[in-house]
Amino acid sequence: MNKKMIAVMKRTFYLFLLILVPLLANAERVKIGELWYNLSPETKTAEVTHDGSASNVYGDRRNGANYSGNIAIPATATYDGVVYSVNAIGERAFIACPKLTGVSFPSSITEIGYEAFCECNGLTSIDIPPTIKCIRTGAFSFCENLKAVHITDLKAWCNIISANSDGNDEDRHYAEPILPQHHLYLNSVEVKDLNIPEGIKKMGDFLFANNIGITSVTFPQSMTEIGNGSFYGCTGLQTAFVSNNVESIRELCFAECTSLASISLSDKLPVICTRTFQNCSSLASVEIPGSVKIIDESAFEGCSALATLKLNEGLERIEFIAFRGCSALTSLTLPESLIYLNGFMECTGLTTVTIPSGVKVMHSTFFECTGLKSVTLSEGLVELSGAFRGCTNLTEIVVPNSVTEIWGAFENCTSLKHITLGNNLSVISGFNGCTSLEEIIIPESVNTIWMGTFEGCTSLKSITIPEAVNNIEEGTFSGCTSLEEVHLPEHVGLGMRAFMGCSALKSIRLPKNLRVIETDIFNGCTSLTQIEIPDKVIQICFRAFQGCSGLKTVILHCSNNPNIAQQPPYYPYPYYEDKSFEGCTGITDVWCYSEEVPRHPLSDSWGQPFTNSYIQYATLHVPGKSLDAYMQNSGWNGFGSIVPIETERCATPSMILDGGKLLFECATKGAEFVSEITCGDQKLSVDDVLPLDGTYHVSVYAKALGYLNSEVVNGTICWKNNEPVLEITTNNQKSVEL
């Protein structure tokens, strides 16, 4: 190591000592008389502290010093011949000293530290000299018997800084000087009509919190900010006069002032902050100045006597539960400037509401407003989310065309009978529990129906799903006990419990492109008499048709050999016996067209999908050449009889173009037709005359119980000489019909 490096290291070491020595000096803790102090030799100041025990340092509410009686803090302390000025009560200095009954402060004290007297339950009153400038968070917290605070200078008291233990005055929430105070005495006279002195600009947090003696407060023109919780819990406060220069009333300022009947607000306020007037249960009227842009969360929550509310133009946002539980509010006029509307949950006195055209979004706005009977929504509204959930007296509503999304907006509106949806909707959810809703027309623009959307709509009788919808989510129509008619697009998927408990559903045509019959999808559909499983289905899941006691005929086309599962597809292994058709006690015939015996994907046999379905009295119809395979399979050989299906195909259908309608005919008795039509010549035209020259492709086949499906017939409809022409192709042979 060279000399230069050694010199650098020496200088660094000396510099370290220069820094460390003052720190060590500042950390000197000594006991002088009955009190412990932190001494600062440089400034000749002393801070009263605890005895240094670990229980104090980590705040587990034990004090080794265990002070008792009345303690007089001296103005000075002498140590080793040096006189120190005692200027602060340190952090947790007297924490958890239940026998401490009194303390007096000299004029030299300027600060009382974090939790300094926390849990000193022997204290009943405290005198605060005007020289104290800062009282930190929790200084007198949990002093349950501290009822009175005595001061000699109101202006000095109003200027006290209440700050957190780290001295950060930015995060001031719950920083309070003397939270448990009940009565404030100025020169031995209790303060009731409080007049804040002129010159005070900013009031500290929780300065008068829990004071039950104050009945009125008047703020000076110099005041610009009233701190967090300044009058929190002042249950005797009846009136408050806020000067016009106040620009900020912080959170919780007048919360829990249960006697506050009137309040005047400054026209310079931009925001009514969170919980400012929460649970002011005597507040009967309030006018929000035009300067206010936002009424924040819970601002007037629980103001149960609020009967008159004036909202002026300029207001843009009413936030979550801002007026929750204002049950005396019977009418509401909303300004046109409003953009975002929330906050009137459980306002049970409201009966009629008109939403202005400026409102774009409504979130949980009138949740459980059980008296609300009439609502007018204006064009311009874009999103409804939980807006009218639980409005049990709302009977009808028209959703404007501007709305594109509905999320949980009408849940449990038990009286809602009529609703008109706008034609620009893309997403709907949240009609579950609308037990009076008999009919709803879903616009063709809708592409997403969220899970459980119509669950428990016990009066709903029919539904048509738009072509744009790709999936019926889990539980969408579960418990719709009056649902008789369902129309589904051919491509739509069906989620678990989609029609569970639809006990009035007698028949349903499953989409031809369906791949999976999900768990519990038709569980408890007791009126269902016949079900036909499309040939693209590859999985029938656990309890899919459980309890369909009226089901007589099951038709499994099974050209793709479906796997009849014991659990939903996302479970890799079965845990229970397969119960896909458990309890279908009325089954008489099962038609299975698969030449290969369907089975569980993880086992050689199919299991027991027909548990407790009395299949010993039913007939299984299977392809003739697979008869022995079915008879030997434990999942199928429990049927009373197993018979071969006729190998004859259903007769080939014919197409007839008659009077602008396309008709199908088939010689096989009882045949049904499966058809598809597409447009192969789509054009965009801007002319005032549109030539009829489009081309349509049609395919159809016939099916009948006991027969194989017919051959597919393809046709093309085109326009020649302004007349439609049908060209039919069967087995590569063409015919033309004019």
What is the tens place of the pLDDT at every residue in 101-153?
999 999 999 999 999 999 999 999 999 999 999 999 889 988 989 999 999 99
| DSSP class of 603 | S
Contact between 500 and 524 (Cβ < 8 Å): yes
pLDDT higher for 348 or 605? 348
Give the containing element (helix H, strand E) for 13: helix 3-26
Share of the chain above pLDDT 70, in %: 84
Q: Where are the domains of the chain?
A: 520-645, 654-737
pLDDT at 13 over 50: no
Alpha helical stretches, state H, 115-247: 154-158
pLDDT in the model for residue 689: 56
Give the containing element (helix H, strand E) for 35: strand 35-40
What is the tens place of the pLDDT at every residue in 650-661?
889 988 887 778
pLDDT in the model for residue 596: 81
What is the tens place of the pLDDT at every residue in 440-488?
999 999 999 999 999 999 999 999 999 999 999 999 999 999 999 999 9
pLDDT in the model for residue 737: 45
Confidence band, pLDDT 50/70/90 cuts, at residue 3:
very low
pTM: 0.78
Write the burial class of residue 236 (CB in 10 Å: 0-12 exposed, 13-18 middle, 19+ buried).
middle
> Which residue type sits at 683?
K
State the Cα–Cα distance between residues 260 and 309, nearest whole angstrom: 15
What is the tens place of the pLDDT at every residue in 611-655?
899 999 999 999 888 999 989 888 788 999 999 987 678 889 988
Confidence band, pLDDT 50/70/90 cuts, at residue 599:
confident
What is the tens place of the pLDDT at every residue in 538-591?
788 889 999 999 999 999 886 544 455 444 444 333 223 468 899 999 999 999
> Residue 25: beta bridge partners?
none
pLDDT at 93 over 90: yes
Phi and psi at residue 57, in whole multiples of 5°? -60, -40
| DSSP class of 327 | T
pLDDT in the model for residue 180: 65
pLDDT in the model for residue 205: 87
State the Cα–Cα distance between residues 546 and 525, nearest whole angstrom: 8
What is the tens place of the pLDDT at every residue in 146-183?
999 999 999 999 998 876 544 444 443 344 667 667 89
Average pLDDT, the chain: 86
pLDDT in the model for residue 28: 79
Please calculate the CA angle 253-257-263 and round it to the nearest 5 degrees.
Answer: 70
Residue 710, SS3 per DSSP: coil
pLDDT in the model for residue 687: 56
**Average pLDDT over every residue of 503-510:** 95
State the Cα–Cα distance between residues 199 and 384, nearest whole angstrom: 48
What is the tens place of the pLDDT at every residue in 719-736?
666 677 777 765 544 444
Confidence band, pLDDT 50/70/90 cuts, at residue 675:
confident
- In 239-345, the DSSP E strands lie at 239-241, 248-249, 262-264, 271-272, 285-288, 294-295, 308-311, 317-318, 340-341
Least confident of 55-64, 255-264, 336-345: 55-64
DSSP 649-686: BPPPPEEEEETTEEEEE-SSTT-EEEEEEEES------
